[in-house]
Structure formats: structure tokens, C-alpha cells
Amino acid sequence: MLVKEYRPRSLWVLLSFALVVLAVLRSSDNSRLVFRTSSTDLAVEANVFAAELRLRPGMTLCEMGSANGALMTALAPSVMPGGKLVATSIERAELEATASALRASGIDDTALSVYLATDTEWAPGLPDGTCDALYSRMVIHMIPEPVILNHYIAQWARALAPGGLMFMTDHNPLDGTTTGPRKGMLSLGGFSLFMEVVPEETEVAQITASRFELEKGPFKHPFFSMGYGAVYRPRRQPATTADPAIAVSAGL
């Protein structure tokens, strides 16, 4: 009888503990680390970014959401000598960390420009045509959808130089969903756990609605759980049809 009474209580304790852990992870500022594939070498991932963006010396490389600067530091040699780096973040501390990481790797301070992002500008004051290559790494899902749709996408297109490419990576939900509205990385009983993510077909449709063309993808980006990536180039001629991103964001 004691065993029969003990087991249900133990299950409830374990379930409660699991929910607490999930809540902590969900609110963590390090969600990109929580879902990172632990066996993956950053250098290998950087090689993928360098190849997809076709990086070469002398280019200006721009990152949206530079975090601690680890990826930009790994990519910087691909555009040196003569290259320029642009880091953006909504957090001033991340920009400082990026500058420190680059400095520690031997990159001259004059090669880096930093921009503190806002809800309406991803890089306030960045001249049009600055970026030969632009990328983000598991960041778009962290930005409110209206900010992406109403401001950032058009600004990314203007920021790219002629012939420039944009490479974006992000997460699909763990249930394998690839379309529809944003949803929790993990959902149990209708309750979303962890951060909300953008299914790949939704993200591609939103970015290509008017300002960009899909160059490649979406394809698996195995460096993060359920990761995907896609490469874009600015649309050669502005689209004249109604923007389908509104319907996509509504899950239609």
C-alpha cells in the first residue's frame, strides 16, 4: 500500500520539477545555447555561413543580433584583409561583448561598426548598400513579428549592396511543424514551452513577400535543434501583388 501511495506522489514531484526546469529554460536569455547541438564545432558552422554568403576578402559583413560575437569572430578572417564588420543588437552589452571578442582575436577596432537596434530600425543610421553579406543566427524568432514585417525586412533589402546575399537561420518547433503561425518550441496540452519560434515555410514566405527572392533553401541547419536556414537576395523588381505575409502570419 505504501508503494502504491508513493508512486503517484513521486510522479507529481517529477512532473512539477520538470515544469519548473522548462519554465526556467523558457525564460532564459541563452535560448540559443539551450537548443544548440552540443557536438557541433563553431568553426564548422562558420564554414557553412562563409560558403552560403560567398565571403571573400574586402567584403563588408553584417550581423543582426551579434550576441557574444563568437560567430562574427569566427567569420571575420573570411573577409580579411580589407574587410569591414557591422554588428547590431538590441542589447548594448552584446555589442560590447562582440567588440571585445573581435579585439581579442586580433581584429583592429577600426574594422568594426556597431549599431544599437530599436523596435523600428535594425541598424539606425546604417547607409543603404553597406552590406555585401548579411546574416542572423537563430534571432528572428526573438523579434516581435510586426517589427520584422513592418520594418526590418525592407531595411535589410536596402542595406545590401548590389549582388549581396542574406543568410538567415532559425528553429522549427520540435513537433516538426514547418508552416503556420509562430508557436512554442515545445507544446504540451496546448501550453507553449520555451520560446516561440517561426516555422520555416512561414519565415521564407514573409521574407520573400515583397523585398527578397529565395536563392536557396530552406534546408536543414543541424547546428541547433530543429534548425533551418535559407539564403536570399534582394528582389530585382518590386512585387506588385498584395503582400502574403499578412495571411501567413495569421496562419492562413
How confident is the model over 120-140, as pLDDT tens digits? 999 999 999 999 999 999 999
pLDDT digits (tens, 9 = 90+) for 83-119: 999 999 999 999 999 999 999 999 999 999 999 999 9
CA atoms of 193 and 191, how far apart (whole Å)? 6
Going from the C-alpha of 155 to that of each of 23, 30, 72, 147, 224, the distances in angstroms are 34, 26, 21, 11, 27
Question: What is d(CA 248, CA 116) in angstroms, rounded to the nearest whole number?
Answer: 29
pLDDT digits (tens, 9 = 90+) for 52-91: 999 999 999 999 999 999 999 999 999 999 999 999 999 9
Residue 113: helix, strand or coil by DSSP?
A: strand
Quick one: DSSP state of residue 77? Answer: G
Specify the pairing of strand 160-171 against strand 131-137.
parallel
Task: With H, G, I as helix, E, B as strand and everything else as coil, classify residue 57.
Answer: coil
pLDDT band (50, 70, 90) for residue 27: very low
